Amino acid sequence: MDTTIDPSYVHGYSEREARRLGDQADTLADLLHAGTAYPPGSDVLEVGCGVGAQTAHLVRNSPGARLVAVDVSAESLAQARERVPGVEWHRADLFDLPFADGTFDHLFVCFVLEHLRDPQGALSSLRRVLRPGGTITVIEGDHGSAFFHPDSARARAVIGHLVALQAAGGGDGLIGRRLQPLLSAAGYEGVEVRPRTVYADRTRPALVEGFTRDTFTAMVEAVRDGAVAAGLTTGDAFDRGVTDLRRTAEDGGTFHYTFFKGQAVKPSP
């Protein structure tokens, strides 16, 4: 590929976004990576590694595995190399991976499918580099699972603008609920999808700070200019929605969100 970034990535490639990805990965590490550890000597491919935020936790949990990571963005890969040592990095399109058939024992795909026009096709394409009997792990969010107190139509509206912008770029901010049928239709067997729920209130200050404020609200805030430019809202209306969303991280506020983690196997011939 001859571009350094993927224009369909709704969140952008700013330093702020890189920090948000790191905050998200670190805050949710126990939740999302529980049950994911690869045995020594196994070959693991992380697809869409971005700035290496999730890669760091894969390396930590599977110290004896050989980890290879790919991303379409040269800029993100440069940051990933600085963040995580001991990983083999490649710039590549997931639909055209530079690996032989059956190279890997395991695939890890986190927060990637939501940005793709053809997520089922992507999963089918990835099956080529996975050995028969190898596993794939896929993690996605679902912005429709967000609910909170105090409830606010304005806050729900700005979340809706994020979903709409992602859809306009060919992605799907509600993809978490689709993981099971997507993996099955892509030809995997033994598909199992389970929810991983985040709930934050004042008794869980690390989640309030790391997820409600620095992950979810920050993600919504970042699409303000895009939402206004697309004619979805005005700047003032968007700002009022974000203000209401921030109140869910204050005393008396609560916030809930669900991620979906799918695991499946490539069938033997």
Residues 119-151 have pLDDT tens digits of 999 999 999 999 999 999 999 999 999 999 999
> Is beta strand 66-71 parallel, antiparallel or unpaired with respect to 88-91?
parallel
Query: What integer pLDDT is reported at residue 198 of this predicted model?
Result: 96
Residues 56-99 have pLDDT tens digits of 999 999 999 999 999 999 999 999 999 999 999 999 999 999 99
Query: What integer pLDDT is reported at residue 17 of this predicted model?
Result: 58
Rounded Cα gap, residues 219 and 134, in angstroms? 33
In the chain, DSSP finds a helix count (H) and a strand count (E) of 11, 8
Q: Is 251 domain-assigned?
A: no
Nearest Cα to 158, choosing from 90, 69, 84, 224? 224
Q: Is 229 domain-assigned?
A: no
Q: Is 208 domain-assigned?
A: no
Query: What integer pLDDT is reported at residue 29 of this predicted model?
Result: 87
Nearest Cα to 54, choosing from 23, 17, 9? 23
Handedness of CA 163, 83, 67, 31 (dihedral sign): negative
Handedness of CA 40, 45, 50, 54 (dihedral sign): negative
End-to-end CA distance of the chain: 32
Q: Is 214 domain-assigned?
A: no
> Quick check: 265 and 138 in contact, CB under 8 A?
no
* 3 has pLDDT over 50: no
CATH of the domain at 261: 3.40.50.150
* 33 has pLDDT over 60: yes
Query: What integer pLDDT is reported at residue 112 of this predicted model?
Result: 96
> Quick check: 208 and 256 in contact, CB under 8 A?
no
For residue 246, the surrounding DSSP H or E stretch is helix 235-247
Q: Is 160 domain-assigned?
A: no
> Quick check: 212 and 249 in contact, CB under 8 A?
yes
Residue at 146: amino acid letter: A
Task: Extract the runs of DSSP E, i.e. beta strands, from the chain.
Answer: 43-47, 66-71, 88-91, 104-110, 130-141, 147-149, 189-200, 254-265
Q: Is 26 domain-assigned?
A: yes
Total domains in the fold of the chain: 1
Query: What integer pLDDT is reported at residue 15 of this predicted model?
Result: 62
* 12 has pLDDT over 80: no
Query: What integer pLDDT is reported at residue 4 of this predicted model?
Result: 31
> Quick check: 126 and 94 in contact, CB under 8 A?
yes
Q: Is 4 domain-assigned?
A: no
Q: How many CB atoms lie within 10 A of CB 238?
A: 22
Q: Is 240 domain-assigned?
A: no
Query: What integer pLDDT is reported at residue 5 of this predicted model?
Result: 34
Residues 167-221 have pLDDT tens digits of 999 999 999 999 999 999 999 999 999 999 999 999 999 999 999 999 999 999 9
Output the six-digit token pair for 203: 């008794």
Q: What percent of the chain has pLDDT over 70?
A: 91
Give the domain extent around 68.
15-149+171-200+257-265
Query: What integer pLDDT is reported at residue 26 of this predicted model?
Result: 80
pTM for the model stands at 0.90
